[in-house]
Amino acid sequence: MRKFWMTTALALTMTAGIATAAENVEVLHWWTSGGEAAALDVLKKDLESKGISWTDMPVAGGGGTEAMTVLRARVTAGNAPTAVQMLGFDILDWAKEGALGNLDDVASKEGWDKVIPQALQKFSKYDGHWIAAPVNVHSTNWLWINKAALDKAGGKEPTSWEELIALLDNFKSQGITPIAAGGQPWQDATLFDAVVLSLGDDFYKKAFIDLDSATLGSDKMKEAFDRMTKLRTYVDDNFSGRDWNLASAMVIEGKAGVQFMGDWAKGEFIKAKKVPGQDFVCMRFPGTQGAVTFNSDQFAMFKVAEDKVPAQLQMASAIENPTFQSAFNVVKGSAPARTDVPNTAFDDCGKKAIADLADADKNGRLFGSMAHGHANPAAVKNAIYDVVTRQFNGQLSSEDAVKELVSAVEAAK
């Protein structure tokens, strides 16, 4: 009898273990700043309300490079997380390895094909099958300006390169750091994205999406690097290695005039209880009005044990729920990944982001961001990062940077 009860108890324990596994998701991500953590908490609470516990696996590093290193080690060890925050071509690379699960059942049932833009589906699907659930659409060609500093400069938002430089000079004369920057390769590349786009849609497309050697090696590309050299003169001496959210804090606190950063920066302003139009101004990088470079955070779903699949599918469904899409993106600062989410809960910057995205998509001016893995594969992106960072830090002249860019991209293709 004692043996019977021990066996029964063991069986019940194992059953409970299976149930626990089925009701848990382990999530690898790099949303570690205050604003990002607040946004992620919306998803955690939504899943907890459905009886699904959340095992958090945060890896600091705004561009996700460190997270991808950790992920590789986990997958190699045969211990893939349930879901992983991922960008663009990284998703497709994992799909090619056969490492991702299949979300077709939930996607078909909920009609994702009709409400998720094709530009995002390019990265959410592989070989016709849904492999990832997009959470948002971030656009990257934004300026975040301290409103008090802008008012002191006359209150006019810069609409051209010349007006931007005049504004930065004014910030310098006010005794504040003109540009709040973080000396990390992905941040340098985010600025370069906007600078290249400001020199023309076709130029951006040929350079970063088509990877046209003549365009990469052109005089116009030298002009882009020259502009980076000029912008470098407005950055403080202590910028190297600064995380992006600390740069945002400089603008929030009035220690700097402007930050060039994607709209995830807005989450930091909102968390600090700042109001758009009153405390800060959001606008497109001068010369890029009407065009949008984007990236989309998606949760790629890895192949997991059969008992973990139901929770994984529930997580995917929760991510695409319109109510969640609104609640999450209001906090995160991004636009919803679905086109049918109303903008009523969004502030002025959020409404602008949604409208800009729709217009750019309609007018053929929506481009994947080079800096954020949506224009070309990781090897090419990293090659560009290297050249841009070296040039921005004064290790390469504009002329040499152009030559290096052509050869680096060619070698990485």
Which domains occur in the chain, in start order? 23-138+295-352 (3.40.190.10), 140-293+368-412 (3.40.190.10)
Separate counts of helices (H) and strands (E) for the chain? 20, 15
- pLDDT tens digits for range 114-162: 999 888 999 999 999 999 999 999 999 999 999 999 999 999 999 999 9
Beta strand segments in 167-306, E: 177-179, 256-260, 280-284, 292-295, 297-301
- pLDDT tens digits for range 100-125: 999 999 999 999 999 998 889 999 99
212: number of CA atoms within 13 Å, CB side? 11
Q: What is the model's pLDDT at position 361?
A: 86
Which DSSP helix (H) or strand (E) runs through 38?
helix 34-48
The amino acid present at 366, given as its one-letter code, is: L
pLDDT-based confidence at 260, cuts 50/70/90? very high
Let me know: does 143 contact 102? Beta carbons within 8 Å: no
pLDDT-based confidence at 301, cuts 50/70/90? very high
Average pLDDT over residues 246-270: 96
Let me know: does 211 contact 376? Beta carbons within 8 Å: yes
* Residue 93 in tokens: 């690379």
pLDDT at 329 over 70: yes
pLDDT-based confidence at 33, cuts 50/70/90? confident
- Work out the percent of the chain whose per-residue pLDDT is above 90: 85
pLDDT at 12 over 90: no
CA proximity to 231, closest of 359, 398, 29: 398
Phi, psi angles (nearest 5°) of residue 379: -60, -40
pLDDT at 381 over 90: yes
d(CA 240, CA 398): 20
pLDDT at 365 over 80: yes
Helices 185-198 & 219-232 angle (0-180, nearest 10): 130
Contacts of 261 (CB under 8 A, 6+ apart): 140, 142, 144, 187, 190, 244, 247, 248
Q: What is the model's pLDDT at position 273?
A: 96
Helices 34-48 & 309-320 angle (0-180, nearest 10): 120
